[in-house]
Amino acid sequence: MAIDRKQFLATILALLVRPRISIAQERRGPKVLIVVAHPDDEYASAATTYRIARELDGTVDQVVITNGEGGYRYSALAESFYGVALSDERDGRARLPAIRKQEVLRAGEILGIRKHYFLDQKDSGFTNDPARARTDNWDLRLIDATLTDLLKREHYDFVFTLLPTEETHAHHRAATLAAVQAVGHLEEDQRPAVLGAEPGRKRDGAPKLEGLGPAFQFDRTSSFGYHNALSYEMVVNWMIAEHKSQGLFQTDYGRHDVERFWLLTAKSLPAAKRTEELADRLRYAAARQLP
């Protein structure tokens, strides 16, 4: 069949803006690396992660930068469950790293996370103003080297991290910056799309990041199944329940009904196109009906 000049140019343009990946890679599900500061930060993209890993045949790995020892203040309820003292600072800092690592692994099993990488940086920055939490005790070279090596070796399509707003915990902003910097070490055509996630409520509307709205959002409450009685909010609740040492976190049940994602990869047409395709694949969940 003959191809006219207009069709030919459109085909060439499509090839130019697409990342150079193999046919086998095109057919597989999305491949994602989550980069977060603390154990339990996977909450921000939990429903989306489950959808990708469990239902879209994707692959999701996670890097947790700190050991989470600073989360001792609301651990009193879990002391009886774990049989050890946790809410005193000395006890919490000594015991929480091992406990929270197991909590992450159990939550990751629910969400379908394939591999976890724990960088065990000290979580020593508690402050009444989380935006001022310290990161000067982090080994930034280790973090950068680990992330860069993973990105080069695994060829991820996306990096999920937390949206870096002025109100965001300083550790979250630092983790996002580390992810963006590591992606910048790659050749341009090998860079994954970096997506900043923030859970929110539909009724509040989406915040703006430097004047830009989210690239897409995933509705945790989209219903399906018998009598439309199921939703991804249930999956999020499963995940929250595994982080028993974090008592305040348990109050997040049903608090956020949507996960919003901002594209942080500037001026990248391939990243924008890939993100749009991911949004289309995720959107199917909201429309599907099971008998």
**Enclosing H/E stretch for 97:** helix 89-111
User: What are the residue ranges spanned by the domains of the chain?
Assistant: 29-287
Residue 9 has what pLDDT?
A: 47
Given a cut of 90, whether residue 47 has pLDDT beyond it is yes
Q: 3-state DSSP call for residue 258?
A: strand
Residue 209 has what pLDDT?
A: 75
Residue 198 has what pLDDT?
A: 95
- The model's pTM is 0.86
Percent of the chain exceeding pLDDT 90 equals 70
Q: Which residues of 152-181 are buried (b: 16+ CB within 10 A; e: fewer)?
A: eeeebbbbbbbbbbeebbbbbbbbbebbbe
Q: 3-state DSSP call for residue 195?
A: strand
Q: Taking Cα atoms as reference points, which of 112, 186, 214, 197 lies closest to residue 160? A: 197
Q: Between the ranges 4-13, 21-30, 231-240, where is the mean pLDDT highest?
A: 231-240
Is the model more confident about 222 or about 34? 34
Q: Among 123-137, 164-178, 217-231, 257-271, which is the least confidently predicted range? A: 123-137
Q: Are 63 and 36 in contact (CB under 8 A)?
A: yes
Whether the CA torsion 10, 15, 16, 19 is positive or negative: it is positive
d(CA 66, CA 3) in angstroms, rounded, equals: 56
Query: What pLDDT digit, counting tens, does each position of 160-185 carry?
Result: 999 987 666 789 999 999 999 999 99
Is the model more confident about 253 or about 12? 253
Banded pLDDT at 4 (limits 50, 70, 90): low
Look-up: residue for tokens 């973090």? 143
CA-only gyration radius of the chain, Å: 20
d(CA 84, CA 80) in angstroms, rounded, equals: 7
Residue 135 has what pLDDT?
A: 72
Residue 288 has what pLDDT?
A: 59
Residue 268 has what pLDDT?
A: 73
Choices 3.50.50.60, 3.40.50.970, 3.40.50.10320, 3.90.1150.10: CATH for 29-287: 3.40.50.10320
Whether the CA torsion 88, 93, 95, 98 is positive or negative: it is positive
